[in-house]
Chain A
Amino acid sequence: MKRRIFVLTLLVALLVSVGVASAVELLDPRVLDIEGDLGGSIGRYGGTMTVAGGASGPKTYNPHRAAETSSTDVTDRIFEGLVTLHRDTGLVMPKLAREYEISEDGTEIIFHLRRGVQWHDGVEFTADDVIFTFDVVYDVNVGSNSRSGLLIDGQPMQYEKIDDYTVKFTLPRPHAPIMFSIGTNIVPEHLLGDAFREGRYHEMWGLETDASEIVGTGAWRLSSYRIDQELVLVRNDNYYEFDTEGNRLPYLNRVIFRYYASTDTSTLAFFNGEFDYIGIPANQYPEYLDREPLSRWTIIEAGPNPGTTFIVLNQNPTTLPEPKLSWFSDVNFRQALAHAVDKETILDMAMNGKGYIQHSPINMRNAFFLKDDLKTYAYDLDEAHRKLEAAGYPLGADGVRRDSQGNPIEFDLITNPGVPIRQISGELFQEDLAALGIKVNFQLIDFNVVVEKLTSTFDWDAILIGLTGTFDPNGGSNTWLSSGNLHMWNPLQESPYTEWEAQIDEIWRAAQRAMDPEVRREYYYQFQDIVAEQVPLFYTVASENMVAVRDHLMNATPDLVSGSVGTAWNFIWIDR
């Protein structure tokens, strides 16, 4: 009897789904092992989740025009790539691709696409969309953020359509990290193709576009957006992911982003029950900690933030005048100053002690590549003084330190306002260098101006800033290759300016060729040693990623790769 009802239900369900859905039939669903692999539970349908979206909302819906996280936070829900990273292991997993093969020599990658995946408007996703997307990404005029990661020695890959469900990529040389950037968001050829061919791609899908016209393959469809106030995503009813019991994902009906100008307001909104989960700013941790026992939510500590915060001294020979250039390009000078960064106090003052002291450019979450016996620079002003004296920067009787030509050492340090850790680090650094007889003029300047100085005018002495972290070390290419645009101290070099920069370039390229992770690790170890010796950047601290999650929100655990809950959206459910 029971079985018959089950079969009947199945039959009805099948009939209904055939009736509703168009002719596209999903042949290759993606099944998530939520209980086993992801450590969660099978959920129940329904409900709305509200999350804090930060200070401002997206600036565009176009995934290849999106440049800042406020936009990509949204576009990454609507659009997806061929592959994705496993949220806990960081391994490459098929997403829109059903599977992929890499040739023996590492120069050919063949993707077999899932058959029957639908765009939000019901049209089937095929190889044409993949080819179109890579045309878009490689077009300089589009300005996609993914472009630089998909170039190999400045060369694009070759790509061709084998059939409707097969695409082949050919690389100019083996390039191990390519799998971390090849999962760029696929956009629909049938909607954007004409605009692209007319050279209007960059105008498409700005904020003026009606929400229903934004079409991706993702688990979420755009429903509405009131600029910088509230953005609503609704469930994609034809999504291709299922749990192991055959339930179509996602479980939730809607997700709402709400934007508040200050983190204080967001925090208060969370305390008032407005948000289902929220990332805790480290400097507000005590507020959460004290309220937690009385509340129906839990704080989850999720390890170090993948980003870095550091002070960088300019070494650009074309824009930095003497004698600053001589000081800053002197490794002894840099090593001495590195001893004047009081990381412990920064941690204490800016983060209530909830964080990690940083020594390496490698993402602290990626323990595999992180070298732990690096040369470090402990906070020690006496040591800094000794090193400066030895390097020919004597402290005068008047308390002013001068170089060998007698120039008093003085420089400007800038950062952007509104980030407590940057302001505190800068003020402490200023005070410590004053104790060493070095005058630092520390000033807060609008973020856009800082970025402009860093990336186009290059007229700065020292900058205190941060970078977001990628899981794979190769994500730092634009910072560490001497040709990189974020090689901050002397960017866009035609050939390496110093010997150590040449060494890093060489190691970096060798690491890209190495397909064996153990071998790659050796290269990145060497790289970290050189950076620790040369200290182009003075690293400070990384905060603990902390999330407060309401108890009714199930499966909302931060992942191991980035410490964010966002990667769990497709299987989060609400237990009422």
Chain B
Amino acid sequence: MAKTMTEPERSNETTVYADGGAIRSPLKMAWRKLRRHKLAMAGMWVLIVLHIFAIFADFFAPYSEVTTDRRRTHHAPTRVHIISPEGKLTRPFIYGYDRVDTMRNIYEENHDVVYPIRFFVRGDKYKVLGFESNLRLFGVDAPGKIYLFGADRYGRDIFSRLAYGGKRSLFIGIIGLAISMSIGLVYGGISGYFGGWVDNVMMRVAEVIISIPSFYLLLALSAVLPPSLGSTERFMMITVILAFISWAGLARVIRGMVLSIRQQDFVTAAEAVGCSQPRTILRHILPNTMSYIIVNATLGIPGFILSEAGLSLIGVGIQHPDASWGNMLSEALNLTSLTRYPWLLVPGFIIFITVLSYSFFGDGIRDAFDPRAQT
């Protein structure tokens, strides 16, 4: 008896008897539907690849994000060859490059110098997930340099910086969302559960926060961050700032859902057997908002990514020399860069791909969790 009472929401959920009579949980149902959504699956795979690329940036990137080369400013992407000068298929290699025009930064291949691309090479030391290593996926022998996506003004490898920048640009969304979700859930849950004047006051506060023009608040808050802040602290602060201004909208929706859920019988039942209020909210009411939260989360992450990019683009977000996709893009903000060094726009393209993937994926998730869209 007691066991069924502690998990009363079970009784309220849609349990569907699929073919064969096996009972499928809602999550499994959703997954089945999601798998049929081609765009969403494509988006998911792109995101998985991008996140792995970012987490293991140290392994995938041939250089560290701060390795500069002052004599290779705005180096063009190096072309990878697999056909040797003799016309035979060979292991991939690149030619050395000469800076033939220092004014316009034009680099030309020097066919006398060949650098074979080596795999699993030893490079700069790094630490990832607690392991120390210096193994890198690929590289070329010094003094050669491989720039798959070209180099920026300081001769840093854009490909490497994309990987390192992804650590910040991608995970700012996930961490930020986790923070804003937690605040939004608890705040909305309390407000909706208690109702009355508590609800009134809490919602007015939330509305005040919603009504603040967020980008200007962001600007103001980032401007007061002290310059001596380390890059990790700065990253965390920016994440917190972003989360702080985005929880209120979520809290309002959660509060609405809670208001309707708490009218239901299983909540009354939980209260009747003496569940404490926090327990009722956390264990019985909030789990029922889960599908909304998952959808909201997937669709909310791009907002964080774009905000970080915007902040870093105008110079108040992630600070040089640390990479983020936004501050990398800021180098492309002028005429000369756009016309002469178009590879500086690659971070923008990656942001575009990421946001698009999240949108497709979020769309698929929403359809998958929507009970009315069942087939």
Residues of A that sit less than 8 Å from B by CB: 264, 267-268, 283-287, 289-290, 342, 345, 348-349, 352-354, 410, 412, 414, 417, 424, 427-428, 430-431, 441-444
Instruction: Name the residue in A284, A342, A345 with the highest tally of chain B Cβ atoms < 10 Å from its Cβ.
Output: A345
Interface SS, B side: loop
Look across to chain A and name the residue whose beta carbon is closest to the beta carbon of B68: A431
In the docked arrangement, what's the CA distance between A517 and B68, Å? 48
What are the interface flags for B310-354 relative to A under an 8 Å C-beta threshold, 1 for contact and 0 otherwise? 000001000111000000000000111001100000000000000
Give chain A residues whose Cβ lies under 8 Å from the Cβ of B321. 427, 430-431
Within the complex, the shortest CB–CB distance from B52 to chain A, in Å, comes to: 30
B228 on the A face (CB < 8 A): yes
In the docked arrangement, what's the CA distance between A140 and B102, Å? 52
Give chain B residues whose Cβ lies under 8 Å from the Cβ of A342. 70
Given contacts A285-B103, A345-B70, are A427 and B339 in contact (CB under 8 A)? no
In the docked arrangement, what's the CA distance between A417 and B334, Å? 14
CB pair B340 A417 closer than 8 Å = no
In the docked arrangement, what's the CA distance between A349 and B68, Å? 13
CB pair B227 A287 closer than 8 Å = no
CB pair A286 B320 closer than 8 Å = no
CB pair B336 A287 closer than 8 Å = yes
CB pair B320 A348 closer than 8 Å = no
| Cross-chain contact of B103 among A264, A267, A268, A353 (Cβ < 8 A) | A353
CB pair B153 A424 closer than 8 Å = yes
Within the complex, the shortest CB–CB distance from A524 to chain B, in Å, comes to: 34
CB pair A410 B70 closer than 8 Å = no
What are the interface flags for B108-124 relative to A under an 8 Å C-beta threshold, 1 for contact and 0 otherwise? 00000000000000000
CB pair B335 A352 closer than 8 Å = no
| Cross-chain contact of B228 among A352, A410, A431 (Cβ < 8 A) | A410
CB pair B68 A268 closer than 8 Å = no
Give chain B residues whose Cβ lies under 8 Å from the Cβ of A442. 227, 319-320
Within the complex, the shortest CB–CB distance from A438 to chain B, in Å, comes to: 13
In the docked arrangement, what's the CA distance between A323 and B102, Å? 42
Given contacts A287-B339, A412-B227, A412-B228, are A444 and B334 in contact (CB under 8 A)? no
CB pair B227 A349 closer than 8 Å = no
B171 on the A face (CB < 8 A): no
B93 on the A face (CB < 8 A): no
CB pair A349 B315 closer than 8 Å = no
In the docked arrangement, what's the CA distance between A352 and B153, Å? 11
Given contacts A349-B154, A353-B102, are A287 and B335 in contact (CB under 8 A)? yes
B38 on the A face (CB < 8 A): no
Give chain A residues whose Cβ lies under 8 Å from the Cβ of B227. 412, 414, 441-443
CB pair B320 A264 closer than 8 Å = no
In the docked arrangement, what's the CA distance between A428 and B103, Å? 19
B239 on the A face (CB < 8 A): no
Give chain B residues whose Cβ lies under 8 Å from the Cβ of A283. 334, 336
A-B contact pairs, 16 of them (CB 8 A): A268-B335, A286-B103, A286-B104, A349-B70, A349-B153, A349-B154, A352-B102, A352-B103, A352-B104, A412-B227, A428-B70, A431-B66, A431-B321, A441-B227, A442-B319, A442-B320
In the docked arrangement, what's the CA distance between A442 and B104, Å? 28
Give chain A residues whose Cβ lies under 8 Å from the Cβ of B320. 427, 430, 442
Give chain A residues whose Cβ lies under 8 Å from the Cβ of B357. none
In the docked arrangement, what's the CA distance between A283 and B336, Å? 8
B73 on the A face (CB < 8 A): yes
| Cross-chain contact of B335 among A264, A412, A417, A424 (Cβ < 8 A) | A264
